[in-house]
Amino acid sequence: MSRLHPKPALFASRIVSGQIDLSLSAIPTAVAGWPDGPIVVRIEQVASHRSLKQLATWWGLWLDIVARETGSDPDELHEYCKQHFMPARHIQFVNADGELAEDEIRTTRKLNTAEMADWMEHGRAWMQAFFGVTLPEPEPNWRQHEDEADPRPLGFLKVAIEASDFGSAWHLPMHRLARKRRCKNG
């Protein structure tokens, strides 16, 4: 017999003077009606998502140079670099009958700016060594997200409470919630 997981309860918060600024009074209401059983409480610091500057550097500068100088296809270069320099992310889904579907994927869409910069540097080093091309260093702040020019630190946390079954938790990206609140409270 299978049961569906309840929707995760999501909260955005901040660190203030070394303490989590989160009202715990909303938690009982958020989990009311959940069946008894294990849960996962996950707290993560929000990281900036890969930036447009990084994408422009990767696609519009480095892959463009390699493609022009070697005749290589930029999409194929991108796929090669993902397969060889990016760790796989395990995904899984469970249907109402309890059947499991799982796979490993590699994508830049979920990378934060630091992860994206690290992956790009590996790809750049490989392309320079393998093809013998020179790929220039772009503008000085290409590794940063556009929002990082804001002198106020992000300081946001992602807080999730998730129902857990068979030792695996449901994970839901929460960066959008935190960024919406950040923009509102600005």
pTM score, whole prediction: 0.55
pLDDT of 25-84, one tens digit each?
778 888 888 888 888 777 766 667 888 888 889 999 999 999 999 999 999 999 999 999
Cα–Cα dist 27/24, whole Å? 6
Cα–Cα dist 49/19, whole Å? 24
Question: Which residue ranges make up each domain of the chain?
Answer: 1-46+154-186, 51-149
What H or E segment, with its residue span, contains residue 142? none
Cα–Cα dist 158/14, whole Å? 9
Between the alpha carbon of residue 9 and those of residues 6, 23, 33, 166, the distances in Å are 9, 13, 12, 19
The DSSP 8-state label assigned to residue 46 in this structure reads -
4 pLDDT band, cuts 50/70/90, is: low
Cα–Cα dist 13/8, whole Å? 16
Could you tell me which residue, 52 or 9, shows the higher pLDDT?
A: 52
What H or E segment, with its residue span, contains residue 42? strand 39-45
Q: What is the mean pLDDT of the chain?
A: 75
Secondary structure class of 70 (helix, strand, coil): helix
Tell me what pLDDT residue 147 has: 53
